[in-house]
């Protein structure tokens, strides 16, 4: 009886190792994508809060709330849902709360929110 050589004993080994690693590779890619979405949500919240405050300081006191919210919502993509709260006299503040999507923006969201804050001194108008 002939003994198999080294190349015959290892046949199929690469295929088995690849199949064993595929779930680990896929899970790693999914987690990395989710971390990117979470970071992007933080960036969107901060950017929307900055824009809301900028519009709020430029608007008159009676129109401040509406202008602040409209400017903040305009900066957000449709897939991210959240709420914008504006307030303050003399020092205008805005707080943006966004839900972090799970894998695909516009679909299911995690049960926690990302918050962005901004503030600016009110502009003097004559």
pLDDT band at 110 (very low <50, low <70, confident <90, very high): confident
Write down the pLDDT at residue 8: 62
User: What domain count does the chain have?
Assistant: 1
Q: Let me know if residue 91 belongs to a domain.
A: yes
Q: Let me know if residue 112 belongs to a domain.
A: yes
Task: List the one residue out of 58, 27, 29, 46 whose CA is nearest residue 120.
Answer: 58
Q: Let me know if residue 1 belongs to a domain.
A: no
Write down the pLDDT at residue 7: 59
Q: Let me know if residue 126 belongs to a domain.
A: no
Write down the pLDDT at residue 109: 73
- The whole-angstrom separation of Cα 96 and Cα 113 is 10
Taking 90 as the threshold, does the pLDDT of residue 32 lie above it? yes
Q: Let me know if residue 100 belongs to a domain.
A: yes
Q: What is the pLDDT of residues 56-105, one digit of tens each?
A: 777 776 777 788 888 888 888 888 778 888 887 778 888 898 888 888 77
- The whole-angstrom separation of Cα 108 and Cα 95 is 23
pLDDT band at 9 (very low <50, low <70, confident <90, very high): low
pTM: 0.75
Expressed as residue numbers, the domain containing 33 is 6-121
């Amino acid at each position: 009886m002939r003994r198999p050589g080294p190349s015959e004993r290892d046949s199929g080994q690469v295929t088995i190792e690849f199949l064993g690693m595929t779930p680990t590779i896929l899970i790693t890619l999914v987690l990395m994508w989710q971390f990117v979405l979470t970071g992007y949500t933080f960036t969107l919240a901060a950017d929307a809060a900055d824009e809301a405050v900028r519009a709020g300081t430029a608007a008159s006191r009676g129109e401040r709330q509406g202008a602040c919210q409209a400017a903040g919502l305009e900066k957000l993509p449709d897939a991210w849902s959240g709420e914008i709260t504006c307030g303050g006299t003399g020092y205008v503040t805005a707080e943006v709360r966004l839900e972090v999507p799970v894998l695909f923006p516009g679909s299911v969201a995690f049960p926690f929110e990302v918050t962005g804050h901004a503030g600016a001194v009110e502009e003097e108008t004559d």
